[in-house]
Amino acid sequence: MTAVFLDGIVLGLQLGLLGVGLTLIYGLGGVLNLSHGQFAVLGAIVIARMTQADMSLWAAVPAGLAAAAVVALAADLTIMRPVYRLQGEARVLLGLLLMLGLGTIIDGYLEWKYPIEALNIRISGDPIPILGVPMRVGSLVASALAVVAGAALFVFLRYTTFGRATRSIIEDEEGARLCGINPSLVRSVIFGLSGALAGLVAVSRAMTSPVTSTAGVSLTILALIVAVVGGLGSVSGAFVAGILLGIVNTVSAFYIGTYITAIVLLAAAALTIVFRPSGILGGGT
């Protein structure tokens, strides 16, 4: 039981980081990034290709994250421009559909060029006992990576001027603009950052299980579930929801079965929307 629980936390930290990237973009511009998982896979495949060309992981990982960030930034600077010109529901709908299209393009490209590619990062070392459970070094490094990235993001959003500007746009775009903040600049930077975060999640995942070139859609869906349960736009909510759902996922997969588990996670998202749309940390309706 403890082992399952700990595995759940490892997965949960990754899910949290995945959800944060999605929720930040939604909070800033109302764009539901349905290609978030594809950004992650794109980063993973770049890293996989580079390590196969005998490059060290220390060079390949930054390159992979940069690739994911550049694609995300490029999306923001091109196809998202007309979206930001719209307001309200029209903006949300167009943003969602365009990102769905972009995700399909990335998926199709990867399936065409690298149908059987996968990123698998093996970290050697003897298992380290945690609470009496021997944990693989890979899982521990993966968790540490997610925790460090999450903490860095927290510090960034809380204590830097740019982070404060980001949060103020999430609160009130018009108000932020009146204070001299340039929402479109912040959005672009955060879009790129969110792409890099997605790549980082892929790196962390690859330490515990292979990230295949076809994993994009399921990662996007997981990100969506986590962000919705955490409350769209809530960074801390996404992290809490990620850890919670990670535990739910492994416990349910271990005791009930995988296909029911998928339904449990999906139901969590649907029920959150229906009964508590602002997420687990937010107030009631």
Partner 1 sequence: MTAPATSPATGRAADLLRAYSPIAVTAALLALVPIRYSDSRSMMTVIIIGMVFAAYTIAFNIILGSTGQLFLCTGALAGIGGFTSAILTARHGWPFLPGVILGTLLASAIGGLLSWVAVSRSLDAIFTGVVTLAFSLSYENLVLGKKDLTGGETGLRVKAAADTVLTTRVAPYYVFLGLVVAYLVLYRLIERSHVGWAFRSLRDDEVAAELSGVNVTRYRVYAGLIGSAMLGLAGALFAHHREFIAPTTYAFGAVDVRVLVMLVFGGIGSLLGPVIGAIALTIVDEILVDFAQLRIMLYGIVIVVLFLGFRRGVVPSLESLGRRVRRRA
Note the residues at the interface with partner 1 (CB under 8 A).
32, 79, 82, 89, 92-94, 96-98, 100-109, 111-112, 217, 221, 224-225, 228, 257, 259-260, 262-263, 266-267, 269-270, 273-275, 277
Residues 187 and 84: beta-carbon distance below 8 Å:
yes
Nearest approach in angstroms of CB 110 to partner 1 is: 9
Nearest approach in angstroms of CB 18 to partner 1 is: 16
Nearest approach in angstroms of CB 244 to partner 1 is: 17
Report angle CA 232, 108, 11 to the nearest 5 degrees: 45
> 200 or 229, CB closer to partner 1?
229
CA 10, 187, 41, 249 torsion: positive or negative? positive
Nearest approach in angstroms of CB 94 to partner 1 is: 6
> 62 or 101, CB closer to partner 1?
101
Nearest approach in angstroms of CB 220 to partner 1 is: 11
Residues 235 and 24: beta-carbon distance below 8 Å:
yes
d(CA 97, CA 113) in angstroms, rounded, equals 24
Q: Around Cβ 126, how many Cβ atoms within 10 Å?
A: 8
> 44 or 110, CB closer to partner 1?
110
3-class secondary structure per residue, 147-183: HHHHHHHHHHHHHCHHHHHHHHHHHCHHHHHHCCCCH
> 153 or 245, CB closer to partner 1?
245
> 128 or 266, CB closer to partner 1?
266
